[in-house]
């Protein structure tokens, strides 16, 4: 490490992903590294133990310290933490910590970002420590074993903009939790806890900066309709209630505030119990595995579903800059910063980390993050109780890449307007009651990778096996006994090509069935007449003598 002694103007040092045990070697003779101007040091994924804190004691200008994934343990006392009194951003993820650490961390009064995910924490002390970090703006407690209600003193951290308490064992009703005081929040993740969530979410009525609300795998609480009607001050971009449960019987109304969200990009309400949908503008809609009934709303045809770079944006009157979502074009979908300047990105790295979302498409559930979310637009209404025809207007969603309407009770034909879905990669219409022919115009869609109309009542020849249709196997069409043509083993009527109209296979089957009936009835009639003649001649001697 001697090469570092003379780098007195160095401000950022990255030694991550090595096998370093100390930043002082055995022949340093106790000399202090001369990095007096060092502001940020990244030591993650090495072999440091608690002694690293003492080794950093001379770095008085240090603002950001990342020592995740090392060999530190929970026996960090206040004296050691005092050595980091000027640090603003501290990352200790995957470091086993005990309650004494949380009790002592209150000495770091300059902290703005604190990441303690997967640190084996089991309790949040309320009388000192964490709750006294009044300057804290980003807090990550994801993946611990914290239980019980959220401590009331957490509501004093009114500067918080990013809060992740997912993957814990928290309980209690969010409507009466201290989170209602944190009105500066832009990102909040409550997922995988045991919270009670009022379906209206009106406890966040004053959170005017909120952009991301994740509350997967909690318990929804139904409310009278009067409690659900309120006008939101925020404009969400991501909202997820994946796999939430409700103990009451019946269905839930969709949260009223979603009707007014103009900036929504991703919505996941799958595996819940919602019974009504009515949304206006978003890029990803997942309402699969609910109890939605009735017809597919025709208003879905009006969704813009365009890449974000093609959408128009307002300008912030406060800062004279584009809104948050436009600021993130170059970095993918991230959490947010109101100002978005380079100084903020340097000081608050949490704000600019990529957010992950999950979505089912192409027969599997995938995790998406970063710039790919700029390009993904999809609708999943599978596994509901939807009836009626597929609105032909869905063919106007020219930018959509995934459409899943499977496992419903839809009837009528497949709209030929689907040939206008020039970007679609996955189209699943299986397990419905659709009838008629598969529109031959669909062969013009050259982007399809996954296509399924299995288990419907479709009939007639399959479209020509050209473009992408030349790649689909028999499984894409199985469960439709009246379909014919390759790749099915059932051939169409001789002289017909898969692309030309002809008598249906059912008509051919009926023709053969009528000829069979004719031969059988003729034979039976002949036998009856023959037997009747024999009987008459046997009984009446006069007719017998006349005949012979």
Residue-wise pLDDT for 290-301, tens only, equals: 777 778 877 677
Same domain, 420 and 493: yes
Given this model, what pLDDT does residue 481 score?
Answer: 92
Q: What is the DSSP letter of 391?
A: P
For residue 166, is pLDDT > 80? yes
pLDDT tens, residue by residue, 131-158: 888 899 999 999 999 999 998 888 889 9
For 384, the domain range is: 378-502
**Arithmetic mean of pLDDT, 167-188:** 92
Indicate the average pLDDT of the chain.
75
Question: Which 3 state secondary structure label does DSSP give 542?
Answer: helix
Same domain, 498 and 522: no
Partnered with residue 463 across adjacent β-strands are: none
Per-range mean pLDDT, top range of 2-6, 302-306, 338-342, 487-491: 487-491
Same domain, 444 and 487: yes
**Arithmetic mean of pLDDT, 523-544:** 74
Q: How many beta carbons lie within 10 A of that of residue 471, not counting itself?
A: 12
Does 424 fall in a domain?
yes
Same domain, 539 and 483: no
Does 473 fall in a domain?
yes
Question: Which 3 state secondary structure label does DSSP give 246?
Answer: coil
Handedness of CA 292, 218, 68, 129 (dihedral sign): positive
Same domain, 492 and 385: yes
Does 385 fall in a domain?
yes
pLDDT tens, residue by residue, 76-106: 665 677 778 889 999 999 888 877 777 788 8
**Arithmetic mean of pLDDT, 394-421:** 89
For residue 319, is pLDDT > 90? no
pLDDT tens, residue by residue, 189-225: 999 999 998 888 888 888 999 999 999 989 888 776 6
Same domain, 392 and 460: yes
For residue 505, is pLDDT > 70? no
Same domain, 404 and 481: yes
Same domain, 476 and 535: no
To which H or E segment does residue 326 belong? helix 324-327
Same domain, 431 and 525: no
Partnered with residue 171 across adjacent β-strands are: 194
d(CA 149, CA 124): 10
Given this model, what pLDDT does residue 128 score?
Answer: 66
Answer whether 99's CB lies under 8 Å from 119's CB: no
Number of domains in the chain: 2
pTM strictly above 0.75: no
d(CA 188, CA 167): 13
Does 311 fall in a domain?
no
Answer whether 52's CB lies under 8 Å from 24's CB: no
The CATH number given to whatever domain includes residue 443 is: 3.80.10.10
The token duo for 259 is 């009707």
Same domain, 449 and 526: no
Does 408 fall in a domain?
yes
Does 532 fall in a domain?
yes
Same domain, 466 and 386: yes
pLDDT tens, residue by residue, 103-120: 788 888 889 999 999 988
Same domain, 421 and 396: yes
**Which of residues 204 and 55 earns the better pLDDT score?**
204
Does 414 fall in a domain?
yes
**Arithmetic mean of pLDDT, 2-31:** 73
Does 456 fall in a domain?
yes
- SS3 of 40-62: EEECCCCCCCCCHHHHCCCCCCC
């Amino acid at each position: 490490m001697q090469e570092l002694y003379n780098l007195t103007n160095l401000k950022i040092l990255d030694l991550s992903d090595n096998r370093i045990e100390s930043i002082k070697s055995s022949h340093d003779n106790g000399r202090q590294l001369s990095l007096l101007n060092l502001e940020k040091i990244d030591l993650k994924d090495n072999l440091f133990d608690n002694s690293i804190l003492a080794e950093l004691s001379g770095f008085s200008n240090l603002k950001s310290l990342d020592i995740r994934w090392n060999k530190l343990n929970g026996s960090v006392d206040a004296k050691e933490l005092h050595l980091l009194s000027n640090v603003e951003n501290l990352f200790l993820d995957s470091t086993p910590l005990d309650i004494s650490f949380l009790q002592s961390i209150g000495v770091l009064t300059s902290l703005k970002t604190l990441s303690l995910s997967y640190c084996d924490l089991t309790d949040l002390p309320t009388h000192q420590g964490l709750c006294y970090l009044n300057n804290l703006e980003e807090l990550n407690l994801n993946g611990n074993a914290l239980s019980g209600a959220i401590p009331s003193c957490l509501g004093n951290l009114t500067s918080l903009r990013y809060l992740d308490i997912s993957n814990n064992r928290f309980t209690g009703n969010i409507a009466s939790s201290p989170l209602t005081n944190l009105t500066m929040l832009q990102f909040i993740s409550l997922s995988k806890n045991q919270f009670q969530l009022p379906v209206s979410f009106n406890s966040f009525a004053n959170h005017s900066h909120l952009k991301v609300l994740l509350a997967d795998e909690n318990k929804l609480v139904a409310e009278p309709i009067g409690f659900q009607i309120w006008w939101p001050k925020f404009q969400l971009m991501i909202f997820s209630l994946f796999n939430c449960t409700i103990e009451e019987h019946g269905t839930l109304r969709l949260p009223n505030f979603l009707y007014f969200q103009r900036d929504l990009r991703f919505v996941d309400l799958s595996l819940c119990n919602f019974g009504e949908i009515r949304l206006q503008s978003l890029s990803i809609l997942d309402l699969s595995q609910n109890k939605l009934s009735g017809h597919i709303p025709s208003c879905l045809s009006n969704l813009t579903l365009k890449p974000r770079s093609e959408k128009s944006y307002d300008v912030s009157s406060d800062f004279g800059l584009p809104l948050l979502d436009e600021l993130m074009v170059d970095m993918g979908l991230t959490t947010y910063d109101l100002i978005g300047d380079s100084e903020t990105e340097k000081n608050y790295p949490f704000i600019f980390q990529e957010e992950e979302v999950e979505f089912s498409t192409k027969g599997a559930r995938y995790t998406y993050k970063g710039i790919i979310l700029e390009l993904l637009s999809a609708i999943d209404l599978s596994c509901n109780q939807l009836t009626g025809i597929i609105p032909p207007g869905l063919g106007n969603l020219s930018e959509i890449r995934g459409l899943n309407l499977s496992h419903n009770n839809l009837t009528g034909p497949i709209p030929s307007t689907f040939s206008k879905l020039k970007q679609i990669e996955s189209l699943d219409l299986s397990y419905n009651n659709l009838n008629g022919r598969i529109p031959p115009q669909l062969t013009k869609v050259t982007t399809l990778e996954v296509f399924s109309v299995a288990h419907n009542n479709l009939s007639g020849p399959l479209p020509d096996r050209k473009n992408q249709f030349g790649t689909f196997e028999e499984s894409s069409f199985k469960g439709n006994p009246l379909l014919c043509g390759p790749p099915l083993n059932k051939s169409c009527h001789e002289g017909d090509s898969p692309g030309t109209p002809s008598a249906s296979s059912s008509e051919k089957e009926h023709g053969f069935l009528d000829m069979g009936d004719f031969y059988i009835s003729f034979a039976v009639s002949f036998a009856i007449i023959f037997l009747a003649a024999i009987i008459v001649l046997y009984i009446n001697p006069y007719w017998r003598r006349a005949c012979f």
